[in-house]
Amino acid sequence: MDWSRRHFLQAAGALTVSHGRLLRAQKQGEAADLLLFNGKVVTVNDAFSIREAIAIRQGRILAVGGNELRNRYAAARMIDLGGRTVLPGFMDTHIHLAGHSQRYVDFRETKSIAELQHQVHEKAKELGPGEWITGGDWNEYHFAEQRKPVRSDLDAAAPNNPVVLTRAGGHSSVGNSKALELADINKATPDPERGIIEKDSSGEPNGVIRERSDLYTRMVPADQPQDVRESLLSNVREQLKLGITSVIEAGSLVEPNVAGSYAEWELLYRNHGEELPRASIQVNYPSPAGEAKKGAALLKEFGKKTGDGNERLRVGSIGEMFADGGFTGPTAWSLVDYKGQPGFRGRAFFTPEQMRTNIEEGHKLGWQFGIHAIGDAAIAMTVDALDTVLHDYPRNDHRHYLCHFTVLPPERTLKMMADDKILIAQQPNFTYTLEGRYVETLEGERLARNNSIATPVKRGIYMAFGSDNLPIGPMIGLYAAVTRKGESGVVYGPGEAVSMRDAITMYTRIGAFLTREEKIKGTLETGKLADMIVLPEDPLNIPAEKLKSLKVDMTIVGGRILYDRSEQS
C-alpha cells in the first residue's frame, strides 16, 4: 500500500455509507442524472481500485462499479467513455486567481523582451499618457534574450507612462524611470526592510525590486471591486479546462469593500457558484509584523474562521503570512549562503517572536494556518513557532501547514513536523519551471533535492499538491513529481520522485484532507460529491513525457458538466 493511502486511512478513516441508504437508492431506482460507462474509473480510494462506470444523482456519486450499472440505473444522460479515464477532479492547494483591471497586461505567453515591449507600448496607446500600466507573469527564462527586463526596456516602450510589471511567482517587479521617480527611489535609496533594490554597474536602480513590489504598487490607483469582477470570474472559470474542480485561493483580505476581499468571493459565488470550481479562501493575517493583538481583533471583527461556509465556498486558513521571500526574488531565507553570493542568505520577513505571537493569537481563535516558507531557515523558524504554540495550546486535528517547502530543512525540523502533524502544500512544478533560478542560487544536495517530496512523506508528513501559478496546469505538476525533471530535461534528485499513484493522490485526496473535506470529496466513492474529470488517456499507463501535452476532455463539478473540450470552438 502506498504511503499516502496508508497514512490517510490511519488519520481520516474510510468513508462509510449506511447499508439502508444504499438499498433505498437501488430500490427507488434506477433513476440517475448522469452515467459514465465503458471507461477506467480511477477511484483513488484506499485500494486505489479502478472500475468501469460511475452513476451520479443530485450532485453526488450514486454508485461506482462495472458496466452492469447501465442495467441498474436509468440516467437522464449516458456517456460512453470509449475507454477513456475518469479521475477525481484536481485540487490546486495554492493558487492566485485575482481579477485584473484594464491597465493590466498578461505576459504568460510572452517569448521575448521585444514582445513584452510591444505589449506595453500597445497598452500605453490604449490608456493614454500618464496612466499607470501594470502586468504580470513574465519569466526571463522564457525570453529569447534570456535576461530580465530592466527600466530602460520599459522606458523605450512607454516613455510617458509609469510602468510596473511583476515576475511570475510574484516575488519581484520591474518598473520604468517614471515609476522609480514616483516611488522616490534613486541611487541613494537604501534597501527597504525585507527587500532588495537591484542596481546596475553604476549604482543606479535598474528597475527591479525584490519582494517589495509595494514600493511601486502603492502608487497605482487602487482597483475598485466592480472593475475586476468580470476578470475574476473569467480566471476562476478558466480552471475547469485544466481539470481543477477545487482550489485554495492563496491570500484574500478580511476587510470588505476592496478588490480581493473575502466579501468579493462571497458575491462571486452567490451569483455564479454553480458554474465554478469549489473554493477555499485563505485570508491574510490582518496586521503588520509585530502587531498580533491588532490582527486578532480584526479577525474577531471579521466574524468567520476556518471551515465556515458551504460546499462551494468556504473560509480557509490564515495565509500566506510570509516567513520569507521566494526564489523568484530571489530572497528565500537560507541556512547557508546563496551560490556565488558570499554573505547573502535571503530575507526573513518576521522575527521568531513575531511569527510565534501571530500564530498563537490566530490558533487560540480556532484558525488553521497555511504559512509561506520556502528557504530552510524559514521552514525551521516556522516549525519551531508552530511547535511551541501547539505545546502551549494543544488542539486536536489543527491541520496547520506550510506552503511551498522548497529547500529541505534539517532532520530535527522534519521530525518535529511529523510529531506535530504539520502538513505541506507543495508545488512540484517549481522543479520544472524554476529550474533556472535554482541553478543560479543553489548547489549540491540543496539543488538536487529542491522541492523534496519522497523524503518528507516517508516520515509520515502529509503533502498535497498545487501550482502557485507556475504554471497552474496540474499535468506539469504530475510530470515533475514523477520525473523530477527541469525544463532542460535535467533530473534533480531522482530519489525524491514519487509514483504516479501517489502524485494523483496528492493532487486529489490529500488536498481535500488539507481543508477537512476528505469525507465529501477527493475520491470517487459512493455518497461523495460528483467532482471528476475525463482524460483521453490513462496517466497511470502513458510515458511521462506525454503528460505535458495531455488535455482534459471533460470536467464535472457536482454532477454537472462544466467543461467539455468537444464543445469548444
Asked whether 30 and 38 are in contact (CB, 8 A), the reply is no
- Lowest-pLDDT range, 1-10, 191-200, 298-307, 354-363? 1-10
CATH number reported for the structural domain that contains residue 320 in this entry: 3.20.20.140
Which of 217, 238, 253 finishes a domain? 217
Shared-domain flag, residues 190 and 231: no
Give domain status of residue 532, yes or no. no
Give the confidence band of 251 by pLDDT, cuts at 50, 70, 90.
Answer: confident
- Lowest-pLDDT range, 184-198, 275-289, 463-477? 275-289
How much is the pLDDT for 328? Answer: 87
pLDDT, one tens digit per residue, over 55-103 is 999 999 999 999 999 999 999 999 999 999 999 999 999 999 989 999 9
How much is the pLDDT for 15? Answer: 38
How much is the pLDDT for 23? Answer: 38
Shared-domain flag, residues 60 and 168: no
Give domain status of residue 534, yes or no. no
C-alpha cell at 540: 497511470
Q: What is the mean pLDDT of residues 487-511?
A: 98
Domain range for 149 is: 104-217
Map 340-403 to HEC letters. Answer: CECCCCCCECCCHHHHHHHHHHHHHCCCCEEEEECCHHHHHHHHHHHHHHHHHCCCCCCCCEEE
Shared-domain flag, residues 378 and 338: yes
pLDDT, one tens digit per residue, over 520-540 is 999 999 999 999 999 999 999
Give the confidence band of 6 by pLDDT, cuts at 50, 70, 90.
Answer: low
Shared-domain flag, residues 312 and 291: yes
Q: What is the DSSP letter of 140?
A: G
Shared-domain flag, residues 47 and 23: yes
C-alpha cell at 273: 457558484
Which of these, 338, 342, 340, 320, lies nearest to 329 by C-alpha position?
338
Give the HSE-up count for residue 529: Cα atoms under 13 Å, Cβ half-sphere. Answer: 25
CATH number reported for the structural domain that contains residue 79 in this entry: 2.30.40.10
Shared-domain flag, residues 230 and 204: no
pLDDT, one tens digit per residue, over 102-158 is 999 999 999 999 999 999 999 999 999 999 999 999 999 999 999 999 999 999 999
What percentage of residues in the chain have a pLDDT greater than 90? 89
CA 342/CA 256 separation, integer angstroms:
45
Give domain status of residue 459, yes or no. yes
| Overall number of domains in the chain | 3
Helix orientation angle between 352-364 and 376-392, rounded to the nearest 10 degrees: 40
Q: Which residue has the higher pLDDT, 187 or 11?
A: 187
Give the confidence band of 20 by pLDDT, cuts at 50, 70, 90.
Answer: very low
CA 364/CA 393 separation, integer angstroms:
7
Shared-domain flag, residues 284 and 417: yes
CATH number reported for the structural domain that contains residue 142 in this entry: 3.10.310.70
Q: What is the mean pLDDT of residues 461-466?
A: 98
Shared-domain flag, residues 445 and 337: yes
Q: What is the mean pLDDT of residues 168-195?
A: 95
Map 494-540 to HEC letters. Answer: HHHCCCHHHHHHHCCHHHHHHCCCCCCCCCCCCCCECCEEEECCCHH
Which of 160, 187, 217 finishes a domain? 217
Give domain status of residue 140, yes or no. yes
Shared-domain flag, residues 433 and 563: no
Determine whether 138 is exposed, middle or buried from the number of CB atoms within 10 Å of its CB (0-12, 13-18, 19+): buried
Shared-domain flag, residues 205 and 265: no
Give domain status of residue 97, yes or no. no
Which of 198, 217, 236 finishes a domain? 217
Asked whether 530 and 56 are in contact (CB, 8 A), the reply is yes
Shared-domain flag, residues 157 and 274: no
How much is the pLDDT for 14? Answer: 39
- Lowest-pLDDT range, 201-205, 255-259, 371-375, 377-381? 255-259
Question: What's the Cα-to-Cα distance from 241 to each of 19, 105, 348, 355, 397, rounded to whole Å?
Answer: 36, 22, 37, 38, 34
Give domain status of residue 541, yes or no. no
Give domain status of residue 176, yes or no. yes
pLDDT, one tens digit per residue, over 310-347 is 999 999 999 999 999 999 888 999 999 999 999 999 99
Give domain status of residue 528, yes or no. no
Give the confidence band of 394 by pLDDT, cuts at 50, 70, 90.
Answer: very high
Shared-domain flag, residues 332 and 200: no
How much is the pLDDT for 513? Answer: 98
Cα angle 387, 411, 515 (rounded to 5 degrees) comes to 50
